[in-house]
Amino acid sequence: MIFDTFNTNNSCFIIAELSANHGHKKEIALETIRAAKRAGADAIKLQTYTADTLTIDCDNPHFTDVMRGTIWEGRNLYDLYKEAYTPWEWHEELFRVAKEEGLICFSTPFDKTAVDFLEQFKPPAYKIASFEIQDIPLIEYAASKARPMILSTGIAELEDIELAVKTCRDTGNNDITLLKCTSSYPAPIEDANLATIQDLKDRFGVEVGLSDHTLGIVAPVVAVTLGARVIEKHFILDKSIGGPDASFSLDEKEFTTMVNAVRQAEKAVGEVSYELTDKVKASRKFARSLFVVKDIKAGERFTEENVRSIRPGFGMHPKYYNDVLGKKAKNDIEKGTALRFDVVEELSKKNKK
């Protein structure tokens, strides 16, 4: 599976998405990779496209009206992608520096030429963006390379996801991870619908995670508690760089806080267990047990007035309380004595433990 490939020791795989957060300066992109490592990311992810592989340079309403209601309103698609793309000639150095930093590096290809270009780097996976989940020829081509596939589901209806998963499997590629995603930038937290994460896993029998565009770190932390094995979040060296994705990206300090919170959440989730740790076992001494709370003479009967279930836990289990009542003490017992079977007539004969 994908996580064996990434060797993440069964922990959540955290991806820092570089996207457009480089201001078209290669040194910023390289320093962002280094910062992602410092922030605790497992991987840095690129996007491999040009404006011409995504769309055409056209100003008719189809290419401008689509931006209405978004943070990019007033622009056309071609201009946006021309600003946002990562130059292909940078990729070799980006992959190399990521490897030097101990980060996994892979990319989202947006057409077949990008897949062909990326193959030279032997990427450990291909990520399909949410807006490309309907591009079945692209998914088929990427999946045919027999690399793990990560698919965002942002704009997908159920039948879109079914077809995308089937397309991967029809190529013989069953190493699939589906990411719950809300394709709104930024995404309102109330639209996250993170409960879908477990349903994706159950419904499709795949690994699952979250590609997050909400502000802050709440959604990634909650996602981990709901079974997310991958968290992808846009990462920027400094928000003053600006750019199309800056407003919903985390800087190094924020990303570090997210990683730490996710790792704490993983520890909190743990595993199903009813075994007590040594520390908890030691705390059992604070539990309730049966104690003599008034002096008792030999032959005197135990009553609700002289025996109680109280803290600490050095006496008999409270479940024996009704069995003790009415029985006689075998000897004098002082107030504050933890009650034992061997001082209770009849019970001691039964050798109860």
Q: Return the bridge partners of 298, or none.
A: none
What local confidence, expressed as pLDDT, does residue 353 receive?
Answer: 45
The DSSP call for residue 7 is T
79 assigned to some structural domain: no
- Using DSSP bridges, classify how beta strands 289-292 and 307-310 pair: parallel, antiparallel or unpaired: antiparallel
Of 230, 252, 269, at which residue does a domain stop? Answer: 269
Phi, psi values for residue 154, rounded to 5°? -50, -50
Q: Determine, yes or no, domain membership for 3.
A: no
- Residues with pLDDT less than 50, the chain: 352-353
Residues 173 and 103 in one domain: yes
Do residues 133 and 185 both lie within one domain? yes
**Which residues touch 319 (CB under 8 Å, ≥6 apart)?**
none
Separation of alpha carbons 21 and 251, rounded Å: 10
Query: What pLDDT score does 62 carry?
Result: 82
Q: Which residues, other chains included, contact 160 with Cβ-Cβ below 8 Å and sequence gap of 6+? A: 133, 134, 153
- Whichever domain contains 295, its CATH number is 3.90.1210.10
Residue at 126 is within a domain: yes
Residue 62 in any domain: the answer is no
Closest to 125 measured CA to CA, from 153, 145, 100: 145
167 and 252 share one domain: yes
Give the per-residue pLDDT at 9: 66
pLDDT at residue 65, rounded to an integer: 67
| pLDDT of res. 183 | 79
Single out the residue in 250, 269, 288 at which a domain terminates: 269
> How distant, in Å, are the alpha carbons of 109, 244, 246, 276, 292 from that of 21?
17, 8, 7, 47, 71
The SS3 of residue 48 is strand
What one-letter code names the amino acid at 245? D
Tell whether 284 is covered by a domain: yes
Task: Please calculate the CA angle 175-21-82 and round it to the nearest 5 degrees.
Answer: 90
Same domain flag for 209 and 324: no
* 168 and 256 share one domain: yes
Same domain, 97 and 44: yes
DSSP string, 292-322: E-S-B-TTPBP-TTTEEEESSS-SB-GGGHH
Verify that 94 and 171 share a domain, yes or no. Answer: yes
Evaluate whether residue 73 is within a structural domain.
no
Give the residue from 219, 236, 269 where a domain finishes.
269
Same domain, 203 and 296: no
What CATH number corresponds to the domain at position 193?
3.20.20.70
Tell me the pTM.
0.86
Is 262 inside any structural domain? yes
Rounded distance between C-alpha atoms, residue 149 and residue 170, angstroms: 13
328 forms beta bridges with 301
Range of the domain at 333: 278-350
Check whether residue 240 and residue 343 sit in a common domain.
Answer: no
Q: How many CB atoms lie within 10 A of CB 327?
A: 16
Note whether 177 and 315 are same-domain residues: no
Statement to judge: residues 22 and 140 lie in one domain: yes
Please check whether residues 343 and 250 belong to one and the same domain: no
pLDDT of residue 246: 87
Residue 74 included in any domain: no
Per-residue burial over 259-282, b = 16 or more CB atoms within 10 Å of its CB, e = otherwise: beebbebeeeeeeeeeeeeeeeee
Q: In total, how many domains does the chain have?
A: 2
Whose structure tokens read 């709440």?
218
- Position 80 scores a pLDDT of 84
